[in-house]
Amino acid sequence: MSLTVFGVPLSPFVRKVRLCLLEKGIDYQLETVMPFTPPQWYLELNPLGRIPALRDGDCTLADSSVICQYLEEAYPDTARLYGKDAQERGRVRWLEKYADYELAPLTTFTVFRNRILKPTSGQPCNEEAVQAALQEKLPPHFDYLEQQLGAQRFFLGDQLSLADIAVTCQLINMAHGGEQLDAQRWPALSAHHARMLALPSIAGLLPDEQRMNAKLKEMGKTATA
């Protein structure tokens, strides 16, 4: 029986888990659960009501980082996404958390939320907050990630890891919100992002996400008209 991931595709954290599963070649099914109005039964999986959650047989877990680390340990014969030793694992976990805790509040919960999600419920986009994120708050984070990459293909050199996936998931949501990296200012990070988007796992998910995002944009125009 395949694993079940609970959540919605446009969540960067659900996307992170799905890409982890795809890169590992593990079969799964996605069951839609909305993050703000989860059904009562879902609270038994995650009492916080957040997405994603995972069911693997009689094992249930929540939190994308916890789920991905579980998959790394529970399926040791699949592609390794946390590095080969303690130093690499520490680096991957740090950069994964950096993406989740530093990028996400800006790329997803400011740019994407204001530009896409708020208009669907008739709320105005706070463009001032979006511009502050883009012009003031995100650039230092992109500077740091640019330095961390250097001339490497991935954050672990030639090896794809959850660090790459976590950062890319946040940049995808920024793109869904209509914003792209400045390739002249951050050439290494921009090249890395293009490299990630070309991966079969990501390229396979994006068309459906882009269609959903376009539909949400139309809903937003109608709701705020």
With a CB cutoff of 8 Å and minimum separation 6, the contacts of 167 are 95, 98, 99, 103, 145, 155, 192
Write 144-151 long-range contacts (CB < 8 A, 24+): 144/98, 145/95, 145/98, 145/186, 145/189, 146/186, 146/187, 146/188, 146/189, 148/95, 149/188, 149/189, 149/192, 150/188, 151/188
| Residue 209 forms part of a structural domain | yes
Q: Which domain holds residue 171?
A: 86-224
Of 37-41, 125-129, 169-173, minimum mean pLDDT range: 37-41
Q: Is the pLDDT of residue 1 over 70?
A: no
Are 134 and 64 within one domain? no
Q: Number of folded domains in the chain?
A: 2
Share of the chain above pLDDT 70, in %: 99
| Residue 19 forms part of a structural domain | yes
Residue 42's CATH number:
3.40.30.10
Which residue type occupies 20? C
Residue 145's CATH number:
1.20.1050.10
Report the chain's mean pLDDT, rounded to a whole number. Answer: 96
Read off the pTM.
Answer: 0.96
The tens digit of pLDDT for each residue in 131-180 reads 999 999 999 999 999 999 999 999 999 999 999 999 999 999 999 999 99
| Residue 52 forms part of a structural domain | yes
The tens digit of pLDDT for each residue in 75-115 reads 999 999 999 999 999 999 999 999 999 999 999 999 999 99
Q: Where is the domain boundary, 16, 41, 74?
A: 74
* CB contact at 8 A, 217 and 116: yes
